[in-house]
Structure 1
Amino acid sequence: MKFAISCSTADAVDPGRLVAYARHADDCGFEGFYLPEHIMLYPGAAVGGFEFPPALPYPDPLDCLAFVAAATRRILLGTAVLLVPYHHPVVLAKRLATVDVLSGGRMRLLTVGLGTLPGEAAAVGVDFATRGRRADEAIDVLRLLWAGDEAGVSFAGEFFAFDQACVYPKPHGGTGLPVHVGGSSRAAARRAGRRGDGYFPGGMLTPAERELQWELVRDSAAAAGRDPGALDYTRWGSMDITAERVETLAAQGVTRVVVSPTETDPARRQDEMSAFAQRFALPALS
């Protein structure tokens, strides 16, 4: 099992706290460092029973991850989730590749999702009802651009079109980046199977629905001629997760657990992270 850690928006807008947090996660041996995204909020924006405070800061995750990369040595960089329908994929392909190149190939935990706030879609000129199709097309465009050479690549879709586009630099090593799919819907599970390198479902699902969705991921991959066994399965977890719970998750096919610290005081949080790393024998950075 791999273990990664998420970062709160409060830490992400404080450069000193962000660097200290990321460096300690790196030192402890956490595999990855995840940041969320909201492009904008508005009064009344809510998901389920949670209403977002309109002034809650959501810094750009890719800019923050570039900052983190410069301050760390090996930790992988991740998003949970990047709202891919709200980004133009030609621009996004270059931004992601740039972070990957400058970090030495660490932009490898990109997780994309659709977004659930209609006002956010409207603010960036995206029809909320089409964001699923737009996301599918954007993923295809990203992979096409990363694979293209000096002759350029062309695309003609419902939302994006270009001729002989050459986008450089390529991701580190000259290959494309993994694209994981996040979400809590069966449509997200099918998208992960058909197009993703892994699935990262949300936290508010019943055990029966989780099992159904993971099977849907695998079945969709097989139907698309892809290898279901090559897909990552990432889940949220808690800092107090037990070894027995990790074994249960592994038996369900989970390959990665992303945890969030409960402590807000920096010193106590570092202690919490260190204790977790010791409990699961994470590979400390020497």
Structure 2
Amino acid sequence: MKFAIAYSTADGLDPDRLVAYARHAEDCGFEGLYLPEHIVLYPGAAIGPFEIPPALPYPDPLDCLGFAAAATRRLLLGTAVLLLPYHHPVVLAKRLATIDVLSRGRMRLLTVGLGTLPGEAEAAGVDFGTRGRRADEAIDVLRLLWEGDEKGVSFTGEFFGFDDVCSYPKPHGVTHLPIHVGGSSRAAARRAGRRGDGYFPGGALTPEERALQWELARTAAAEVGRDPDALEYTRWGSIDMSPERVETYAAQGVTRIVVSPSSTEPERQRDEMSAFAERFALPRIG
């Protein structure tokens, strides 16, 4: 089992705090650092029954991860989730590859999703109803650009198109970066199987629905000739979870657990991270 840590936007954007958090996570032995994304918020924006305060700071996750990478040595960089339909994949391919090169191959926990706020899609100039097809196409474009050589690559799709273009730099030492798919729907699970390198479902699912979605992802992979056993399965966990709970996750096929401190106070956060690392004997380097 792999263990990663998330950085909450509620903690603000103090650069010293972000660096201290990332360094302590690395010292504790966590595999990676995850950040969320919202492009914009607005009064009344809600995910299910939970309204999001419009002034809640959501910094750009890729800029934050690049900043954290410069202050760490081995911590992998992740998003949960990057709202893929609101990014142009030609621009995004270069941004992600650049971070991967500068971090010496650590932009490896990219998780993409569709977004659930219609007003956010409108502000980004994206038709909310087509964002799923747009995301599918964007994944194909990203991989095509990363795999292309100096002869150039071409693409003709519903949303994106180009002829004989070259995108450099390439990801560090790999053909393309892993792309995990996040979400809480059966469509997301199928997308993960057909196009993703892993599935990272949301937290508000019943055990039955969660199991069904993971099986959907595996089945979708097999249907298009992909190896379902190659899919990674990431889940949210709690900072105080027990070894027995982790064993339950493992029995369900989970390969990575992402946790968040329960406190917003930096010293208490560090204590919670350290206690988790000790409980699961993470490979500490500090």
Partner of 2:136: 136
Give 5+ residue unaligned stretches, structure 2.
none
Q: Offset at 1:12?
A: 5.0
Q: Offset at 1:11?
A: 3.1
Tell me the SS of whatever aligns to 1:235.
strand
After superposition, residues 127-276 of structure 1 pair within 5 angstroms as 127-276=127-276
Give the superposed CA RMSD.
Answer: 0.7
Partner of 2:285: 285
- The one-letter code matched in structure 2 to 1:159 is F
The answer on whether the counterparts of 1:78 and 1:109 sit within 8 Å (CA) in structure 2 is yes
Within 1, Cα distance between the matches of 2:23 and 2:11? 13
The answer on whether the counterparts of 2:22 and 2:33 sit within 8 Å (CA) in structure 1 is yes
The answer on whether the counterparts of 1:12 and 1:64 sit within 8 Å (CA) in structure 2 is no
Deviating runs (4+, > 2 A) in structure 1? none
Q: Determine whether 1:31 maps to 2:31.
A: yes
Q: Offset at 1:269?
A: 1.3
Tell me the SS of whatever aligns to 1:78.
strand
Q: Note the alpha carbon deviations across 1:9-50, whole angstroms, 9 max, x for none.
A: 133511011000000000000001000000000111001111
Q: Offset at 1:264?
A: 1.6
After superposition, residues 36-55 of structure 1 pair within 5 angstroms as 36-55=36-55
Within 1, Cα distance between the matches of 2:12 and 2:98? 20
Q: Offset at 1:174?
A: 4.2
Tell me the SS of whatever aligns to 2:91.
helix
Tell me the SS of whatever aligns to 1:262.
coil
Partner of 2:83: 83
TM-score under structure 2 length normalisation: 0.99
Within 2, Cα distance between the matches of 1:265 and 1:62? 24
Within 2, Cα distance between the matches of 1:265 and 1:214? 35
Within 2, Cα distance between the matches of 1:48 and 1:135? 22
Give 5+ residue unaligned stretches, structure 1.
none
Tell me the SS of whatever aligns to 1:238.
coil
Within 2, Cα distance between the matches of 1:165 and 1:213? 37
Identity, % of aligned positions? 80
Q: Note the alpha carbon deviations across 1:119-172, whole angstroms, 9 max, x for none.
A: 000001100000000000000000000000000000000000000110000000
Within 2, Cα distance between the matches of 1:8 and 1:131? 26
TM-score under structure 1 length normalisation: 0.99
